[in-house]
Every structure is written in C-alpha cells, then in structure tokens.
C-alpha cells in the first residue's frame, strides 16, 4: 500500500511536468524570428582622383585615364557642380588637361557618371602621411 501511495503522486507529477515541457517546446517554434534588417544600400556617390587626360567644354566632360586594361573614365559635370582650382572657385574653361583632380561623383547608371564636386590642383598634391606609432620600451 505504501508503494501505491508513493507511486501515484510521482506518476501524476511526471505526466504534468512532462506535458509542460512538451507544450513549451512546441510553442518555442511558434515564436517569430526577428525581422532581418535590410542590408545597407550601396551609396551612389564615390570619390575619384587622378590626372586629367582630356577636357571637353562643349560636352562638359572630364576624362581620366582608366586603370590597366580598363577604358578611360569620363565624368559629365553636374548642373550645380562645385568647381575649385587650387582651393578657389573657378569656371570650367580654366581647367586644362594634365592637371591633378579629385572629387566626388554620382553613378547615374552603369555607363553614366556625373561629377558633383571637382577639386583641381595645378601641382601634384602631397599624400598625407600616417603618424608614426610610438614604440614603448
């Protein structure tokens, strides 16, 4: 008799707790996964720099030589382009071939690129040197 008294509550407890764990694991699959964050769009703007190969005032374009084995890069100037020559505002007519240029362009399509900011230098700009790291002894 003692065995029955001990066995019945233990068996009942096993069914109840077993059912709770089964229920909780079944509901665990119903939880919604957090929505994936949309991947960042690649910016349409990109920097450019190099030596001007050609200037076409009629078309309003600047041509920079392409990398090895690639075609020349042609930049059409935007209507509201920001043009500077040695740090001062300038007109497009003052820009000549063989000058150094850097700026920001916007990709309109796979073949069309529009220059938004054009900074022209008459001399090759110096590269900024990274500060030397101090070594501790």
Number of domains in the chain: 1
pLDDT of residue 13: 76
The DSSP bridge partners found for residue 73 are 64
Domain limits for position 68: 45-121
Is the residue at 22 inside a domain? Answer: no
CATH number of the domain within which 86 lies:
2.40.50.320
Is the residue at 70 inside a domain? Answer: yes
Is the residue at 27 inside a domain? Answer: no
pLDDT tens digits, 72-110: 999 999 989 999 999 899 988 899 999 999 999 999 888
Distances (CA, A) of 21 to 12, 17, 18, 25: 14, 6, 5, 6
Query: On the CB side of 55, how many CA atoms lie within 13 Å of its CA?
Result: 16
pLDDT tens digits, 13-56: 777 776 656 555 555 555 566 666 666 677 788 999 999 999 99
pLDDT of residue 7: 76
pTM of this prediction? 0.59
Q: 85: how many CB neighbours lie within 10 A of its CB?
A: 18
Helix H segments across the chain?
2-28
Is the residue at 86 inside a domain? Answer: yes
């Amino acid at each position: 008799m003692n065995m029955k008294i001990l066995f019945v509550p233990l068996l009942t407890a096993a069914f109840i707790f077993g059912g709770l764990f089964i229920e909780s694991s079944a509901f665990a699959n119903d939880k919604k996964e957090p929505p994936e964050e949309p991947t960042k769009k690649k910016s349409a703007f990109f920097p450019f720099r190099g030596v001007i190969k050609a200037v076409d005032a009629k078309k309003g374009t600047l041509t920079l030589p392409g990398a090895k084995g690639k075609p020349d890069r042609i930049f059409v100037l935007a209507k509201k382009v920001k043009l500077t020559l040695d740090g001062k505002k300038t007109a497009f007519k003052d820009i000549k071939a063989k000058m150094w240029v850097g700026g920001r362009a916007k990709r309109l399509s796979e073949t069309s690129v529009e220059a938004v900011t054009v900074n022209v230098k008459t001399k090759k700009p110096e590269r900024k040197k990274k500060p030397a790291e101090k070594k501790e002894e």
